[in-house]
């Protein structure tokens, strides 16, 4: 007995006999259109998500990853249809031993090898998504890819199958897991060296018939991810350490995944396309929306294009021109408060925006072929960003980023006796923000008096 009935018995045993806390069983119905030919039971025990399903054997059509035949199978048949050998191991609950029916799984687990149980071409043509699963497991476990497997992953026919036969949703699921995994840098590196960037981040021509310019080399994605890793892991002792506030929120898994995916999409930076309504949009938007179907989960779709916009905004004018400038507090405060730099609604935090801007600035200093960083030239920009954050902290600006405005829209309407808000409100509130930054110790009453005088002088509304 396997699958759903077995899961119910196991949950009952864990709960009633072992007094363990177990989640309720979620049953995932069979769905042939999504390759779910057998129903699956899912629950969580001891913090581990477990799936329960019957042993099976499958046969596939040449032009589809959906099995044409499926039946209950033997353990060996089930093992051979799996993606990699370390996922073919069975635990015998009666003998309490691990059974390795392919006679490869335990050896590959011990040696740190990702290998397919059948010849890789057969495994990948049956289900091209397994190409991405191999990369995910290699990056997650720190394993090496088998040489034959690597060669097959480079095969144009396999890559075309990955591009055309696999739903973009399934591609996105794997990319999301890679970015949230143990080593997203390794995942991006493997995607690059195996020439998989195009099949993964393919934008259908029906969505974007033409981009404003060709993508940058996929090497740029690996370069950006490498720079991010070096900066956040202090992986180069010759570089100045980043200001702690710049990487304070990097340990958040969602932030980390968003930044690494932004690095992976760096070849799309500065490129646009026109949608069906002839509206010009960033190509990175289509890469997230259409290539991976990730949408707004983890603020990918609404957050990553903003990171790109923030990188451009922060460097124009360069932030080094703001430190020590006339009305320094105003200039620096307006940058930090800009919605391209800090906007909780899109998961955008000022520190992540500055960090990504610095990464973009340092990308040209990374040589992906030699896998080497020009640390000497990189020191200057890092010190510039550190100085900006230090000065912003000294001026008390960081505490004001999320603070409410000293005057609300209702206050403005009351003070100006305007009757009701209108399009003019945005400009007035922007000027109130400038006044607030320029008067660090200013009170609400003083701001109201200033607003009345400006209005009386005809300088506002």
Mean pLDDT of 280-294: 95
Domain with CATH 1.10.110.30 in the chain: 55-199
The whole-number pLDDT of residue 36 equals 42
Residue 73, pLDDT above cutoff 80: no
Burial 22-52 (b: 16+ CB within 10 A, else e): beebeeeeeeeeebebbebbbbebeeeebeb
Interatomic CA distance for residues 110 and 102, integer angstroms: 15
The candidate with the shortest Cα–Cα distance to 341, out of 301, 372, 312, is: 312
Report in angstroms the alpha-carbon separations of 181 from 47, 258, 294, 455: 17, 12, 16, 55
Residue 323's CB is within 10 A of a number of other CB atoms, namely: 16
Q: Residue 59: which pLDDT band, with cuts at 50, 70 and 90?
A: low
The whole-number pLDDT of residue 33 equals 45
Mean pLDDT of 105-131: 96
The predicted model scores a pTM of 0.89
The whole-number pLDDT of residue 77 equals 83
- 315-339 pLDDT, tens digit each: 988 999 999 999 999 999 999 999 9
Residue 298's CB is within 10 A of a number of other CB atoms, namely: 19
Q: Give percent of the chain with pLDDT exceeding 90.
A: 74
Interatomic CA distance for residues 39 and 55, integer angstroms: 12
67-76, 221-230, 362-371: range with lowest mean pLDDT: 67-76
Mean pLDDT of 111-122: 96
Residue 34, pLDDT above cutoff 50: no
The whole-number pLDDT of residue 37 equals 46
Which stretches of 180-299 are DSSP H helices?
184-193, 197-200, 219-233, 253-264, 283-286
The whole-number pLDDT of residue 273 equals 93
Residue 392, pLDDT above cutoff 60: yes
Residue 1, pLDDT above cutoff 70: no
Residue 65, pLDDT above cutoff 60: no
Mean pLDDT of 281-303: 95
65 or 51, greater pLDDT: 51
Pull the structure tokens for residue 278.
Answer: 């002839």
For the domain 55-199, what is the CATH code?
1.10.110.30
For the chain, give the secondary structure using H, E and C.
CCHHHHHHHHHHHHHHCCCCCECCCEEECCEHHHCECCCEEEEEECCEEEEECCCEEEEECCCCCCEEEEEECCHHHHHHCCCCHHHCCEEECCCCEEECCCCCHHHHHHHCEECCCCCHHHHHHHCCCHHHHHHHHHHHHCCEECHHHHHHHCCHHHHHHHHHHCCHHHHHHHHHHHHCCCCHHHHHHHHHHCCCHHHHCCCCCCCCCCECCCCCCCHHHHHHHHHHHHHHHCCCCCCCCCCHHHCCCCCCHHHHHHHHHHHHCHHHCCCEEECCCCCEEEHHHHHHHHHCCCCCHHHHHHHHHHHHHHHHHHCCCCHHHCCCCCCHHHHHHHHHHCCCCCEHHHCECHHHHHHHHHHHHHHHHEECCCCEECHHHHHHHHHHHHHHHHHHHHCCCHHHCCCCCCCCHHHHHHHHCCCCCCCHHHHHHHHHHHHHHHCCCCCHHHHHHHHHHHHHCCCCC
The whole-number pLDDT of residue 28 equals 73
The whole-number pLDDT of residue 52 equals 84
65-79, 217-231, 361-375: range with lowest mean pLDDT: 65-79
Q: What SS3 class is residue 91?
A: strand
What does the mean pLDDT of the chain come to?
90
- 17-28 pLDDT, tens digit each: 999 988 889 887
The whole-number pLDDT of residue 372 equals 87
Mean pLDDT of 136-152: 97
Interatomic CA distance for residues 167 and 122, integer angstroms: 20
Q: Residue 81: which pLDDT band, with cuts at 50, 70 and 90?
A: confident
Q: Residue 54: which pLDDT band, with cuts at 50, 70 and 90?
A: confident
- 360-369 pLDDT, tens digit each: 999 999 988 8
Q: Residue 68: which pLDDT band, with cuts at 50, 70 and 90?
A: very low
45-59, 276-290, 298-312, 368-382: range with lowest mean pLDDT: 45-59
The whole-number pLDDT of residue 2 equals 62
Q: Give percent of the chain with pLDDT exceeding 70.
A: 93
């Amino acid at each position: 007995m396997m699958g759903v009935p077995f899961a119910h018995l196991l949950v009952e045993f864990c709960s009633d006999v072992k007094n363990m806390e177990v989640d309720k069983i979620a049953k995932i119905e069979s769905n042939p259109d999504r390759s779910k030919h057998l129903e699956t039971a899912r629950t969580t025990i001891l913090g581990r998500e477990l799936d329960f399903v019957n042993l099976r054997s499958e046969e596939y059509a040449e032009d589809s990853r959906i099995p044409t035949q499926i039946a209950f199978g033997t353990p060996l048949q089930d093992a051979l249809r799996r993606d990699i050998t370390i996922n073919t191991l069975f635990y015998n609950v009666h003998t309490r031993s691990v059974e390795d029916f392919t006679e490869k799984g335990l050896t590959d687990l011990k040696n740190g090898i990702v290998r397919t149980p059948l010849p890789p071409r057969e495994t990948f043509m049956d289900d091209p998504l397994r190409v991405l699963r191999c990369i995910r497991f290699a990056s997650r476990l720190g394993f090496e890819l088998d040489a034959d497997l690597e060669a097959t992953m480079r095969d144009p026919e396999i890559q075309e199958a990955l591009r055309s036969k696999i739903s973009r949703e399934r591609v996105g699921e794997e990319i999301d897991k890679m970015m949230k995994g143990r080593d997203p840098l390794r995942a991006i590196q493997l995607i690059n060296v195996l020439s998989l960037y195009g099949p993964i981040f393919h934008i259908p021509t029906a969505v974007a018939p033409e981009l404003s310019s060709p993508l940058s080399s996929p090497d740029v994605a690996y370069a950006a991810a490498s720079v991010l890793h070096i900066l956040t892991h202090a992986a180069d002792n010759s570089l100045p350490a980043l200001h702690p506030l710049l990487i304070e929120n990097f340990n958040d898994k969602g932030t980390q995944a968003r930044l690494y995916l932004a690095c992976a999409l760096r070849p799309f930076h500065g490129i646009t396309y026109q949608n069906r309504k002839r509206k010009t949009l960033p190509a990175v938007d289509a890469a997230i929306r259409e290539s991976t179907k990730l949408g707004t989960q983890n603020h990918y779709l609404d957050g990553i294009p903003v990171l790109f916009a923030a990188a451009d905004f922060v460097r124009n004018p360069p932030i080094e021109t703001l430190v020590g400038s006339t009305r320094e507090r105003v200039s620096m405060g307006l940058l930090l408060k800009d919605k391209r730099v800090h906007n909780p609604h899109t998961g955008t935090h000022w520190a992540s925006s500055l960090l990504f801007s610095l990464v973009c600035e340092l990308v040209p200093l990374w040589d992906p072929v030699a896998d080497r960083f020009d640390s000497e030239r990189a020191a200057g920009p890092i010190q510039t960003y550190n100085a900006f954050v230090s000065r912003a902290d000294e001026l008390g600006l960081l505490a004001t980023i999320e603070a409410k405005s000293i005057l609300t829209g209702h206050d403005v309407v009351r003070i100006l006796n305007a009757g009701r808000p209108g399009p003019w409100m945005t400009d007035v509130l922007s000027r109130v923000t400038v006044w607030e930054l320029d008067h660090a110790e200013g009170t609400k009453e003083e701001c109201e008096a200033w607003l009345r005088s400006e209005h009386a002088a005809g300088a506002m509304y």
